[in-house]
Amino acid sequence: MRQGVFITIEGPEGAGKTSIIQKLKQGLEERGQVVMATREPGGIAIAEQIREVILNKENISMDGRTEALLYAAARRQHLVEKVSPALKEGHIVLCDRFIDSSLAYQGYARGLGMEAVYEINRFAIGELMPHLTLLFDVRPEVGLERIKAHKEREVNRLDLEALSFHEKVREGYLQLADKFPERIAVVNAEASIQSVYQESLKLILAKVEEQSLGQQC
Ligand SMILES: Nc1ncnc2c1ncn2[C@@H]1O[C@H](COP(=O)(O)OP(=O)(O)OP(=O)(O)O)[C@@H](O)[C@H]1O
Ligand SMILES: Cc1cn([C@H]2C[C@H](O)[C@@H](COP(=O)(O)O)O2)c(=O)[nH]c1=O
């Protein structure tokens, strides 16, 4: 059976990940692909419960390492219950955030170190890395303004971090894109939703084609 294609969408707050993943799922399905869209932290019952703990505004005393470990725990369970089975079925998995979020937020912005955070995540995910990561790049002031205007979105503990934290998140992501250019594609997320969608769809279709050619050889 054909192996699936694992695509992760990354970026700071308000980059447009949630909105565009829904459009991508629809666009890919219209082209005959079987797609599973999911998110981190969450996507399954246990991970959604962990999400509640991590993002609860009451938990201001949470230690940085505790935070990193909770994200990794949610990731592990989500991978075992949802992501790996879908990939084994040959589906395209579109995941809103994955390991690069931990590297940018906990490793870089929180200051735990990308190497240390990578190590605990290796324990959680083993060898599974995305085939392609789209980094929706947006300046934090633009992204934060968008989520402020988006009335239904609840403000969470991480949103309340200082602007300097969100600036570091963006910097961390851009460093990762520089380090792993073969996996991470930077998409200008300050462009219109339609143009972010079109560029993302093109990149994903090219990766799906590349993977299926690789599997025929
Ligand atoms: N390219 C864009 N241009 C203008 N507005 C946008 C764009 N992308 C998304 N938005 C709007 O910004 C708001 C946040 O978008 P969305 O929830 O998709 O972002 P997100 O990356 O998932 O955010 P978070 O990670 O913080 O949950 C929504 O109101 C959405 O309509
Ligand atoms: C997976 C992951 C997420 N985060 C942060 C990023 C956001 O602030 C929240 C998730 O909220 P969203 O609305 O779903 O974007 O959690 C993180 O710091 N580390 C991670 O590994």
The model's pLDDT over 91-146, given as tens digits with 9 standing for 90+, comes to 999 999 999 999 999 999 999 999 999 999 999 999 999 999 999 999 999 999 99
Query: Which ranges of the chain does DSSP label H, i.e. alpha helix?
Result: 17-30, 45-55, 64-78, 84-88, 99-101, 114-125, 140-149, 163-179, 193-216
Domains with residue ranges and CATH for the chain: 5-216 (3.40.50.300)
pLDDT for the residue numbered 1: 65
Q: 18: alpha, beta or left, given left = phi > 0 and alpha = psi -120 to 50? A: alpha
Token pair listed for 72? 């990794």
Nearest ligand to residue 24 Cα: 1
Our answer on whether the CB atom of 97 is closer than 6 Å to any ligand 2 atom is yes
Burial 154-189 (b: 16+ CB within 10 A, else e): eeebbbebeeeebebbbebbeebbeeeeebbbbbeb
Pocket of ligand 2 contains residue 40 by CB under 6 Å: yes
Q: Which helix (H) or strand (E) is 92 found in, with range?
A: strand 92-96
Whole-model pTM: value is 0.97
Tell me the per-residue pLDDT of 4-63, one tens digit each, with 9 for 90 and over.
999 999 999 999 999 999 999 999 999 999 999 999 999 999 999 999 999 999 999 999
Task: Please state the atom number of ligand 1 nearest to the C-alpha of residue 193.
Answer: 1
| Spatial contact of 140 and 166, defined as CB atoms under 8 Å apart | yes
Give ipTM to 2 decimals: 0.98
Ligand 2 atom closest to Cα of residue 40: 1
